[in-house]
Amino acid sequence: MRPLRVLTPEHALDFLAVLRDALAGSGPAVLPVPVGVGAVKPAARTHLGEVPKRVAVVIETSGSTGVPKRVMLATNALLAGAAASAVALGGAGQWLLALPVHYIAGVQVLVRSIAAETTPLVLPPGHFDPQNFRRLAEAMTEPLRYTALVPVQLARLLDAADDPALLAVLRRFTAILVGGQMIQPGLIARAAELDVRVVRTYGSSETAGGCVYNGVPIGDTRARVVGGQLELSGTVLAEGYLNDEARSTDRFLLEHGVRWYRTGDLGEIDPQTGRVTVLGRADNVIISGGVKVSLDAVERIVRAHPGFEQAVVVGADDENWGQVPVVVVAGGAADAGLAASVEVVLGRAARPTRVVRVREIVLLASGKPDRRALAVAAASLAQASPAPDSTMGAWHKELGRSGPNNND
């Protein structure tokens, strides 16, 4: 066994030295945790004890229930991810760190830098400012240059790309990796129009970060679909969850000598090309009128509507239908035709019953929408100003019943 050091890395380059020792086995395994107001202090995790000797890094994430998961990653998994990334991108290079190092994407930027023997440049924490990003990127010296972002960061950069100096910097990157959440095709198209090379990544802490680039598994990663859910295998897989054998057994399967990780994501694999398409979370599904509705699928259509590019679709309780989709959006964009466009593609059960307008879309530290907070806000606003949807009422009448039939 090996000691586990819990720390709040205020300076990423200081953490880089600690991480290098952890990977080499000359120091304890590390669990980086957030810094700042509201963050849980490292002392609160003294009960975690030791980890298996091969584990170098533990990443703490929240599951769909909000219960923390502590993912144990071995040195070989982290380095395998870095090596696969370098091959897929065309070579090792210098990285600009723009993400927190308590997330796997931030850790992997540092691991790739260690493997490449290059010094990463670090964007200061806090509000993401495109001009700060530009100034830092201008200081990069290696011929191959990379960064990893979440979609909202890329969107802010592209919004500011009318600045010739910023656009020149963006075009100088060999690749800009973007992942962590669903990426709108329009965002990728905007980058392509500006000749900015974006690589869509898919992966998680359990796969040592992104292991599928632009739909193609990298390194020795393999993908399959079982019961509609994506499963991944390869050297990049985590050892399991710290002090949670039940969850480890549920998520990591051994089949004919091969370990598979059940991602919890719905997906498809093209039988001709092997390209992976992620359809959304298997647990982000509601039952409306006895019909399963993927909120991620609804959200993809909603976000194609002008003014709703950052909208979030949540589930709301409904006395007749059990649950219904609700659109949460910041701003006053017109929603004419929005619900109908969803219905045409996904059917009437998926039609949003209302649009809730908020001051801003609350984000988590990772840049992802805080869906729990938005669902609570939507429910509160609905109680304050209920607005029954006439279309849903018409559907009730058409089906000849007063409410859902869960036996359908």
136: DSSP letter: H
Q: Does 339 share its domain with 259? A: no
Q: Is 29 in a helix, a strand, or coil?
A: strand
Identify the CA nearest to 354 among candidates 371, 373, 379: 379
The answer as to whether 406 is a domain residue is no
Q: Are residues 163 and 68 in the same domain?
A: yes
User: Does residue 404 sit within a domain?
Assistant: no
Domain check: are 300 and 267 in the same one? no
Q: Tell which residue, 263, 322, 260, 335, has the closest CA to residue 292.
A: 322
- Same-domain check for residues 195 and 297: no
Q: Are residues 69 and 121 in the same domain?
A: yes
**Number of domains making up the chain:** 2
Domain match, 291 and 340 both:
yes
The tens place of each residue's pLDDT in the chain, 408 residues long, gives: 999 999 998 899 999 999 999 999 999 999 999 876 446 666 667 778 899 999 999 999 865 445 679 999 999 999 999 999 999 999 999 999 999 999 999 999 999 999 999 999 999 988 899 999 999 999 999 999 999 998 889 999 999 999 999 999 999 999 999 998 778 888 999 999 999 999 999 999 999 999 999 999 999 999 999 999 999 999 999 999 999 999 999 999 999 999 999 999 999 999 999 999 998 888 888 888 778 899 999 999 999 999 999 899 999 988 778 889 999 999 888 889 999 999 999 988 899 999 999 988 888 766 678 888 898 888 887 665 544 443 333 333 333 333 333 333
State the maximum Cα–Cα separation within the chain, in Å, rounded to a whole number. 70
How many Å is the Cα radius of gyration of the chain? 22
- Same domain, yes or no, for 183 and 294? no
The boundaries of the domain holding residue 124 are 4-278
Are residues 261 and 364 both part of a single domain?
Answer: no
Residue 283 Cα to chain centre, angstroms: 15
213 and 116 belong to one structural domain: yes
**How far is the CA of 191 from the CAs of 17, 179, 306, 309, in angstroms?**
34, 14, 18, 15
Indicate the angle between helix axes 151-159 and 130-137, nearest 10 degrees.
90
Residue that finishes a domain, picked among 278, 303, 333: 278
CB 59 within 8 A of CB 103: yes
Indicate whether 78 and 15 sit together in one domain.
Answer: yes
Q: At what angle do helices 104-116 and 12-24 cross, to 10 degrees?
A: 70
Q: Are residue 185 and residue 297 in the same domain, yes or no?
A: no
Which tokens is 321 given?
Answer: 């239908």
- Where does a domain end: 240, 257, 278? 278
CATH of the domain at 197: 3.40.50.12780
Task: Report whether 75 contacts 87 (CB < 8 A).
Answer: no
pTM summary value: 0.80
Instruction: For tokens 């093209």, name the residue.
Output: 270
